[in-house]
Amino acid sequence: MYKTKIDLSEKVRRNVIVILNDRLAYAIDLQSQIKQAHWNVKGPNFIALHELFDKLSNVVLEQIDEIAERVTSLGGTAEGTVAVAAKRSKLKNYPLSITSGKDHLFYLSTQMSVYGKVVREAITDTDELGDADTADLFTGISRDVDKYLWFLEAHLQEKA
């Protein structure tokens, strides 16, 4: 741990950093899966989905940066390599064979929902540890996840 004048105890910071690095792994994994969909989507809605996936990738890249910077501001080391992400993330492996827009939408919406769940857990956990700022960071991420999950799911929904 690096020294900081942030007025959270070292114990709190250490525990929060573990949570942040765990969610960093999820975010890195998710962003790479979104790019996989972006590069490989095919079908009648190609351009709309290609652009949506690119936008979503950029949103998650911003989240990655915010999470990693929070780790370092608390005196920790952001553990953001692909190898670490692959080891820690519990997201399912992305099927490399899919190309249809509908299949990508289904798979990405499922992954986004898992990511949203672990982000919401992080809100509760960091708040209980006494780090309202990190809980707030995760709250903002959660709002983005819900918004873009809606965007993905809207493509799969039809009037009942």
Each residue's pLDDT expressed in tens, for the chain with a length of 160 residues: 898 999 999 999 999 999 999 999 999 999 999 999 999 999 989 999 999 999 999 999 999 999 999 999 999 999 999 999 999 999 999 999 999 999 999 999 999 999 999 999 999 999 999 999 999 999 999 999 999 999 999 999 877 6
Domain ranges of the chain: 10-154
This prediction has a pTM of: 0.96
| pLDDT at residue 1, rounded to an integer | 87
Whether the Cβ atoms of residue 36 and residue 30 lie closer than 8 Å to each other: no
| C-alpha angle 82-88-94 in degrees, rounded to nearest 5 | 65
Predicted local confidence at residue 159, as pLDDT: 72
Which of 70, 87, 85 is closest to 30 using CA atoms? 85
**In CATH, what number does 10-154 get?**
1.20.1260.10
Which of 23, 30, 122 lies closest to 78, judged by CA?
23
**Which are the contacts of 39, defined by CB distance < 8 A and separation ≥ 6?**
none
To the nearest 10 degrees (0 to 180), the angle between helices 46-73 and 132-154 is: 170
Query: What pLDDT, on a 0 to 100 scale, did the predictor assign at position 158?
Result: 78
Question: What pLDDT score does 55 carry?
Answer: 98
